[in-house]
């Protein structure tokens, strides 16, 4: 990643934020808000610390060490926001919490959010919410992965309730039919394009054998493999996930070589060739509700890079709490 590009982008963001602040003042100090949520919420609230830049550079440090940081933080935001809204409830520890639900067993990035929270609370205790840190960290990861920068509102408060059953009921599965998945996203205020671009984040993701093994050997209890999967991909995945063997191995959801950690349109190109690892990913390319969006994204590498930011921003507005508390000192527990 080009360090100069990142620093220049952050400088532009700071200038943009300053200009926005003036604009908001001229527009009756309201601007584009969602309740108490607004752009630049933390300006001058944490001593001299630029909260958004601080979170960015913590994520950048981890990204330099581990490229999987991109997928981890994007997935963390999704799994938080789809369960009780974007309230950082996924971070809470304890028996029967969201963290313990099977769909969340492979979620990662908790340590990055916790590092940012602990460090920020040394400067301004109880000011920056864990819910905002998740959204800011996911924004940083999306950009570091190669997508366009996007602005996000802040001012979220943290939730106190975290239940594994909520995760089991709320998170869409890897085999969910496209119409049903589109409807689930619509219930959260996300349209069909948002749905396609958010699933496009699988361009940097991975999946364990258990989430797609049925497609290799016993698709829908047919005793055969999924006919929509290309033969080359099937043979490759069968080596990773042998028949009648419970494997903990995982594979990249975007099979494009040397593109596994980049927010590009390789995923869309692959699923058009029948090379989607998850059933829901593959069906994106075939179903009439989503096929044309996939074709457009596959034909122009800039579409996904520019569209994913607005989709992530909308995801970050799901079920936001703007009146309540901010966890103190840690994101792992409430006071």
Is 177 labelled a binding residue? no
Question: Are 90 and 103 a contacting pair, CB within 8 Å?
Answer: no
- The encoded tokens of residue 241 equal 């996930």
Q: What share of the chain is helix, strand, coil (3-state, %, to 5)?
A: 55, 5, 45
Angle between helices 130-144 and 51-65 (to 10 degrees): 50
How far is CA 77 from each of CA 73, 81, 184, 219, rounded to the nearest angstrom? Answer: 6, 6, 17, 31
Is 85 labelled a binding residue? yes
Of 94, 139, 134, nearest to 115 (Cα)?
Answer: 134
DSSP 41-52: TTTTTSTT--HH
Distance CA 238, CA 317 (A): 40
Is 80 labelled a binding residue? yes
Of 265, 318, 257, nearest to 295 (Cα)?
Answer: 265
Is 203 labelled a binding residue? yes
What DSSP character marks residue 277?
S
Is 79 among the catalytic positions? yes
Of 81, 83, 94, nearest to 156 (Cα)?
Answer: 81
Distance CA 209, CA 247 (A): 6
- The encoded tokens of residue 143 equal 């950009």
Q: Return phi, psi of residue 216, to 5°.
A: -85, -30
The residue annotated as part of the active site, out of 68, 79, 188, 287, is 79
Is 200 labelled a binding residue? no
Of 232, 231, 283, 278, nearest to 254 (Cα)?
Answer: 278
Helical (H) or strand (E) element with 170 = helix 164-170
- The encoded tokens of residue 259 equal 């593109």
Is 226 labelled a binding residue? no
Instruction: Please list the residues that pair with 252 across neighbouring strands.
Output: 206
Residues at the binding site are 80, 85, 87, 89, 98, 172, 202-203, 254, 264
Residues at the binding site for heme b are 202
Residues at the binding site for substrate are 172
Catalytic positions: 79
């Amino acid at each position: 990643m080009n360090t100069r590009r990142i620093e220049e982008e952050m400088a532009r963001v700071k200038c943009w934020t300053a200009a926005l602040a003036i604009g908001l003042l001229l527009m009756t100090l309201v601007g584009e808000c969602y309740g108490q949520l607004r752009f630049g919420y933390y300006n001058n609230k944490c001593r001299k610390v630029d909260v958004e830049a601080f979170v960015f550079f913590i994520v950048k440090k981890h990204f330099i060490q581990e490229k999987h940081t991109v997928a981890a933080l994007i997935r963390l935001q999704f799994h938080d926001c789809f369960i009780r809204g974007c309230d950082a409830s996924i971070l809470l520890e304890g028996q029967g919490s969201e963290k313990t639900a099977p769909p969340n067993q492979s979620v990662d990035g908790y340590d990055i959010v916790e590092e940012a929270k602990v460090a920020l609370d040394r400067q301004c205790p109880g000011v920056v919410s864990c819910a905002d840190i998740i959204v800011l960290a996911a924004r940083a990861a999306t950009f570091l992965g190669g997508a366009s920068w996007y602005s996000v509102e802040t001012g979220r408060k943290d939730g106190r309730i975290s239940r594994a059953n909520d995760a089991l009921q709320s998170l869409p599965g890897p085999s969910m039919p496209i119409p049903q998945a589109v409807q689930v996203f619509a219930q959260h205020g996300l349209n069909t394009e948002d749905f396609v671009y958010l699933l496009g984040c699988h361009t940097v993701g991975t999946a364990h054998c258990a989430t797609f093994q049925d497609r290799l050997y016993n698709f829908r209890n047919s005793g055969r493999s999924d006919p929509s999967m290309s033969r080359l991909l099937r043979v490759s995945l069968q080596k990773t996930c042998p028949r009648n063997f419970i494997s903990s191995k995982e594979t990249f959801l975007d099979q494009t070589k040397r593109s596994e950690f980049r927010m590009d349109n390789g995923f869309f190109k692959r699923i058009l060739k029948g090379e989607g690892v998850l059933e829901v990913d593959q069906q994106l390319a075939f179903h009439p509700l989503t096929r044309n969006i996939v074709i457009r994204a596959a034909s122009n590498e800039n579409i996904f890079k520019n569209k994913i930011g607005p989709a992530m921003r909308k995801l970050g507005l799901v079920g936001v709490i703007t009146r309540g508390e901010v966890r103190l000192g840690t994101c792992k527990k409430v006071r």
